[in-house]
Amino acid sequence: MGFQKAITLLEDLIKRAGGCAVIDGGFATQLERHGATINDPLWSALCLIKDPDLIKRVSLSLLLSPNTHIVVLFFYILFDRI
């Protein structure tokens, strides 16, 4: 699927949802593309601890992309499980 086709499908989804849709933005995929290892059940916590700047960079790149969306991420860490 081409980029323009994906944008059209996303725009159609948002229109059908009344102007706002909550979707998975692929944050983990973007982290992986930038070198993060996400093969652990607590990958998000490990990324926050090991490379918080990576979280900032990927979040900022998504927020500043030409798409119209807001990135909202929730993280929690149970230190006794890391």
The residue type of 70 is I
Look up the domain containing 74 and give its range. 23-81
- The per-residue pLDDT for 75 is 65
* Exposed/middle/buried for residue 47 (C-beta within 10 Å: 0-12, 13-18, 19+): buried
* Confidence at 22, pLDDT banded by 50, 70, 90: confident
Here the tokens at position 47 are 């990324």
Encode pLDDT of 43-68 as tens digits. Answer: 878 888 889 899 888 888 877 777 65
- The per-residue pLDDT for 69 is 60
How many other C-beta atoms are found inside a 10 Å radius of the C-beta of residue 44? Answer: 20
Report yes or no on 31 lying in a domain.
Answer: yes
Report yes or no on 11 lying in a domain.
Answer: no
Here the tokens at position 79 are 């230190």
Report yes or no on 17 lying in a domain.
Answer: no
- One DSSP character per residue, 25-59 reads --HHHHHHHTT----STTHHHHHHHH-HHHHHHHH
The total number of structural domains that make up the chain: 1
Report yes or no on 5 lying in a domain.
Answer: no
Average of per-residue pLDDT across 67-78: 64
